[in-house]
């Protein structure tokens, strides 16, 4: 086995250039309004998007839109296009059903 490492010639100038990247936007972000799941302050999320050169950002908190207005205003002030979303869970039946779908099958 040889101890020699063979590496291709490197162009140092080319290696220091930052490659052009395609635009990227986060479409699934939770803020501190997503209880037990998100800890991000909306202002800090927006600032981070600006720092990374994003032109838009989505806020998709769990089960509420409590941060939507704050997010919209802070994003617009920072020159970011706000995308307001909502993460919801859909379950069969009614919220008034007792025991869920599996217990109603067992009873019949």
Two structure tokens written together for 92: 């069969």
> Is 32 among the domain residues?
yes
Q: What is the pLDDT of residues 59-69, one digit of tens each?
A: 999 999 999 99
> Is 65 among the domain residues?
yes
How many domains in the chain? 1
Burial of 80 (0-12, 13-18, 19+ CB in 10 A): buried
Residue 69 domain boundaries: 22-90
> Is 4 among the domain residues?
no
pTM score, whole prediction: 0.66
Residue 65 belongs to a domain with what CATH number?
A: 3.30.110
Q: What is the pLDDT of residues 33-72, one digit of tens each?
A: 998 888 889 999 999 999 999 999 999 999 999 999 999 9
- CA-CA distance, 22 to 55, in Å (whole number)? 12
> Is 11 among the domain residues?
no
> Is 12 among the domain residues?
no
> Is 70 among the domain residues?
yes
């Amino acid at each position: 086995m040889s101890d020699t490492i063979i590496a291709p010639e490197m162009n140092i100038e080319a290696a220091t250039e930052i490659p052009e990247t395609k635009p990227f936007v986060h479409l699934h972000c939770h803020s501190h309004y997503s209880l037990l799941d998100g800890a991000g302050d909306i202002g800090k999320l927006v600032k981070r998007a600006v720092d990374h050169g994003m032109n838009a950002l989505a806020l998709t908190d769990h089960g509420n839109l409590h941060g939507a207005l704050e997010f919209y205003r802070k994003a617009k002030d920072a020159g970011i296009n706000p995308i307001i979303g909502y993460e919801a869970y859909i379950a069969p039946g009614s919220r008034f059903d007792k025991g869920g779908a599996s217990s109603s099958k067992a009873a019949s």
